[in-house]
Amino acid sequence: MSSQLTQFKQKAGTIARRTLWVALVALFVTGTGYYMYRTYTVSEGSRSGTLFKISRRGYVFKTYEGQLHLAGSMMMTPQSTWDFSAKDASVYAELQKYEGKNVKCYYREKVNAFPWQGDTNYIVYRVEMVQ
């Protein structure tokens, strides 16, 4: 009777360990896939206009947010402004130098950016002044 109980305990322990390993591998694969989905670049390009707002904001994650009045539009309307997020502090510092000037922003559009990447899916990684 005790040998059957011992065998049952060993089988149960083996099954529990295998289940735990399968669950950990599934969690890792799912997490990696989710991360890749959220950070996938949908489009890449540039937009030009007058940079009229750049700020660092956020409650938990401090991100760098900006607005661009798109070139070619006479009046400032919600359709003629472009909201974006800056990639990091160095891009933010560069943007601050060009506030109020015509700039060209190079961006990558993410499927669904993480909260620490910014408020928008448009992540500006480079900026240059337009003459």
CA 113 vs CA 36, 49, 109: distances in Å: 11, 23, 9
Contact 83, 120 (CB under 8 A): yes
Mean pLDDT of 75-101: 90
Q: Is pLDDT above 80 for 98?
A: yes
* Percent of the chain whose pLDDT exceeds 90: 66
* Mean pLDDT computed over 90-112: 94
| CATH architecture observed for domain 41-129 | Beta Barrel (2.40)
pLDDT over threshold 70, residue 126: yes
Is pLDDT at 129 greater than 80 in this prediction? yes
129 phi-psi bin (left φ>0, alpha ψ -120 to 50, beta other): beta
Mean pLDDT, rounded, of the chain: 91
Instruction: Please check the confidence at residue 57 and state whether its pLDDT lies above 80.
Output: yes
pLDDT for residue 2 is more than 80: no
User: Which pLDDT does position 1 carry in this prediction?
Assistant: 61
Q: Which of 105, 101, 99, 100 is nearest to 128 (CA)?
A: 105
